[in-house]
Chain A
Amino acid sequence: MEIDNEILEHMRNPYNYGRIDEPSSIGIGENPQNGEKVIIYINVDESGSEATISQIAFEAIACMTTVVAGSVITKEADGLIFSKAEELIAVTLGMLENVDPEQAACSEMVAVALKAAIDGYLLSKEKGEKQTLIYKIEQSCSPQMEYSKQEERE
C-alpha cells in the first residue's frame, strides 16, 4: 500500500470506527481462509422515498489495509439511499479486478459486509425478525507481505 497523507489520516483516525448500540442492521464480511472479518452496523431512516443509511459504523478484526478500506467505504456510504449504496458496492467490487489480490480482499471484505448489512435489513423487514447475514470472500488478505512482493517484482 502506497501511503500518502490522506491514507495516513484514515490509518490514524479511521472514519466511523466502532459500533452502534441497537443498530437497524448488522452485516459481516468474512475471510474464511484466515478468520478475518469486518462488521458493519447501520441505522436506517425510512422517512424518505427510499431507505437511507442514516448512520454507519464498522469494526475490523483484520489488518490495517482493511481498516483503511472500511474508513473510505463507510465514509462514502454514510447518508446514501440503498440504491446508491448498492452502486457503491458494485463499483468497489468492480474496481478490485485490477488490484493486487491481497489488497483486493481487504476492500472486498468491507464491501460485502455493507451488502450483508443492507440485505440483512431488507430480509429482517420481510421476515419480521432481525437477521444478521455473513458474506464470505475468497481472496487471502495478508498485506504484511506486500513489501517483499514489491521487492520481488522489482
Chain B
Amino acid sequence: MKQLFIKTHEVWLVTLMASFMSKNSETKQSLNDFSDILFRHFTWLERELIKSGLEYDYNRDSVPIKVESLRVILDNIVERLNTMELMLPNVTDDALRFRIQTDWEYMKYKIGNLADEEVTAFSAKREYKDFNLSNEATDALTLFLFEESYKEYELIMIYNYLKAHSDDDYLNKIFQILIDESFFHLKSFGQMMAEMGILAVPRVIHESIYKVESLVEFLKDGIDEELAAKEQCKELSDAVVKEAKELAEFFDFINYQENYHIALMQDALRHFEEKGAE
C-alpha cells in the first residue's frame, strides 16, 4: 500500500500540473477536479497506512512533466493509473478500494476523450499577459513564483501530515482551512507559472519539515514565515504597480489573505498552549 500511496502522490501532482498546462477551460476544470480527487485518495490511503501502523513519509520520485503536447501528459496520467491498478489489491478496505477503482475508471475514460492542445507552459518566455515588466521585476516575479509555489506545496503537506496525526478537532479544523488556502495559492501561482512558460513541479520535501518535533515551535516559525511572505507580496506589488496594476492588486489580495492565516496559527498556538501538552 505504501507504493500505491507514493504513486498516488505523484499522479496527483502530474494531474494538477496538466490542469495548469491546458488553456481549454473545460479540460482545465476536469483535470483540476481530478487532481483534487486524487489528493483525497492520497489522504485516505494515508489514513489506512496510519491505521495499519505502517511507517511512511512523503518522499517520491521526481515527476517529469515537460511536454509540447497535452496528449502526452494525459496519456502519462492514464499509464500511471493503469500501473497503479496492480497495487490496488493491497488496499484492504473494500469500500475505499472500490471508490478509488471506480474514480480511476471514470478519469481514464474522461481523460482519454480530452482534446489535444499545444502546450506553452515550458516556453520560458517569462511574460505575463500583456504586461510590460522590467527585467528586474520579471526576475523578482519568477523567483517569487518558484519560492512560493514550493512553499504552498510544503504547507499543504505539513498541515496534511499534522492533521493525519492529530485527534484534536479544533486544531484539525484550522489545519484544514490552511490546507484549503494553500491549495488556492498553489493553483494561482501554478497557473501564473504556466502562463509565463516556467511551470515546474515543486521539489520533494524533506521529512524533517513535516515530521515536526514541536508544534509550538512550528507554529511560531510559521507565523514569522507568514509575516515574511506578506512582506514579499508587498514588495512585489510595489515593484509591479506601475507596469501591471492587475498584478499588484493580486499580490495585495494574497498579502491580505496571509493576515487570516496568521490569526488562525495564533489561534492554534493559543489552543495548544491552553491544552498544556505537546
Contact = CB atoms under 8 A, between A and B. Distances in A.
Nearest to A59: B206
Give the size category of A's interface with B: 20 to 34
Contact of B146 (A11, A147, A148, A150): A11
Interface SS, B side: helix
Most buried by B among A3, A8, A19, A59: A3
Contacts of A14: 203
Interface in B137-172: 137-140, 142-144, 146-147, 150
B143 A64 contact: yes
Interface stretch (B80-88, B89-97, B111-119, B231-239): B231-239
A39 B139 contact: no
Contact of A8 (B66, B124, B203): B124
A12 interface: yes
A17 interface: yes
A9 to B, nearest CB: 8
A21 to B, nearest CB: 10
Interface residues of B, number: 29
Given A1-B139, A17-B203, A147 B198 contact: no
Nearest to B150: A64
A20 to B, nearest CB: 12
A5 interface: yes
Contact of B147 (A59, A61, A63): A63
A56 to B, nearest CB: 15
B239 A144 contact: no
21 contacts: A1-B139, A1-B143, A3-B138, A3-B139, A5-B124, A8-B124, A13-B200, A14-B203, A18-B204, A39-B206, A60-B203, A61-B206, A61-B208, A64-B143, A64-B146, A143-B143, A144-B228, A147-B139, A147-B143, A147-B239, A150-B136
Interface of B: 59, 62, 66, 124, 126, 135-140, 142-144, 146-147, 150, 198, 200, 203-204, 206, 208-209, 228, 232, 235-236, 239
